Amino acid sequence: MTTLTRVGSHPENSDNARDGKIMFVRSQSQLALDNPAAKGFRLTRHQAERAFGSDMVERVLDECVVSLVPSIQEPAQTLRARREHMGLRVEELAQAARLPASLVVDAESPGKVVPIQLLNELCQVLALDERILGYSPAAGGDAGLGVRLRMLTEIRDEKSFSAASVAKLGEAAWVVAKQSDLADSLGRKLHDLASSASRKDANYSYPTYEKGYLLAEKTRSLLGLDDEEPISSVRALVEETLNIPLIQTNLEHRFAGATIANGSCRGIVVNERGRNSDVAVRRMTMCHEMAHLLWDPDEKLDKLLVDEYANIEGRAAATDYVEMRANSFAVAFLAPRAGVRRIVDRSASIASAIEEISSLYGISVSAAKYHIANVCKKDTNVAVGDVDLSAWIPAENLTVDFMPGLGESVPISRRGMFSAVVARAFLNNLISADTARMCLKSDRPFDHAQAITIAELWGI
């Protein structure tokens, strides 16, 4: 990194730096004041202070360049330990990060210098805080999450997880933590219902489905929804009302979704592959994961809980009370019992009631049949025609369709509210253009015009 003249000899630079107008630049091992020749990763003063503390920033202002890494073993030691902790081979990490395997080897070799931008890419797959890589032990990696991810790679039966899916879940955990951190900087707080001190419920006793119904009704009441009102967009409820990170990604086809805890941050993952392409299934998946996140105690979540479509569609094992409760929560949250009873009572036939409930509440015909049978004790083994649910698609697909302001290269996992939080943080000078581009995985420079378009689309 280019050596700079001491700030003290340039009062105008000192003044700009101390009032937050100057940028900092990070390399693999140093933090320095920015200059046009610097090739590192630029940070705003807010970012530098949040990562390293105000004392470190003051040192950089006085000395221009400060070493961040206490040992030649770092960041190689942290990167290798985390990769092994997650059960990934060098080649698997390289493929997930879209980098040469030789670069991963270099990054894990003490004393080797690797461009900080490429180290940042590895951190995202490994769910590490790239800001403090090499500076802080383990770079903020959640050990419990790492253990759970490694366990997924060690499964040796028909439910085994590929390294690609484990890497995708690691990346999703990084997005959850990054969005939570940026939202906090912007003053966007989690809804009380979703906070870490919220109302957890460990009651899974028989009949378990009844516990799910009651929690669904309690949740609707706490959100100010009446006992018959449809949920127009589960996506908007999760992302905009509850402020829960919602990451949409591509996993193996049998997986529907997951809940992730990364440190104190929690989020929901939805698989874009498989049956979630059906909007009714996607709505059910999001509500199922919401049940886990809002109501399951931390020991049940266990840092990572991945659901297959069999769980979401009501085929969980009879002894899996956690999944049974989440299933009944999901269907009752979408189609409240009071509304279902009212429609059944006034309908000319069960078939017409099934069709109306499916259409009104945005659930599948099969889910409507199952729900009516449980709630109203009616025989629902009747022929029902197809119900057109296409009107529900636009509101639920907003985060996966192309969005103005985002380039084609921006992956699905970085769209949605995450992109809006990144854009607003950039506009508020909380993060640098380098950080915004990294967060969005954009193939083009990030600028104010893009940021304004994205932030205004989301109204933040």
Q: What is the pLDDT of residues 290-338, one digit of tens each?
A: 999 999 887 777 778 889 888 787 665 656 888 899 999 999 999 999 9
CB 375 within 8 A of CB 341: yes
pLDDT value, residue 314:
64
Residue whose C-alpha is closest to residue 337's, from 209, 213, 215, 225: 213
- Residue 1 CB contacts under 8 Å (≥ 6 apart), including other chains: 25, 27, 30, 32, 38, 39, 40, 65
CB 17 within 8 A of CB 55: no
The whole-angstrom separation of Cα 231 and Cα 234 is: 6
Residue whose C-alpha is closest to residue 347's, from 378, 317, 302, 311: 378
Residues of the chain with pLDDT under 50: 1-18
CA 295-398-219 angle, to 5 degrees, is 20
pLDDT value, residue 407:
74
The Cα-based distances of 286 to 151, 161, 375, 395, 427 in angstroms read 24, 21, 22, 13, 30
Strand-pairing partners, residue 308, are 255
pLDDT value, residue 444:
83
pLDDT value, residue 201:
86
Structure tokens at 409: 């290269």
Count of CA atoms in the C-beta half-sphere (13 A) of 15: 3
Q: What is the pTM of this model?
A: 0.91
pLDDT value, residue 443:
83
The Cα-based distances of 149 to 79, 83, 160, 244, 349 in angstroms read 15, 10, 12, 21, 49
Ordered structural domains, the chain, with CATH: 7-67 (no CATH), 76-141 (1.10.260.40), 162-401 (no CATH), 409-458 (no CATH)
The whole-angstrom separation of Cα 154 and Cα 163 is: 10
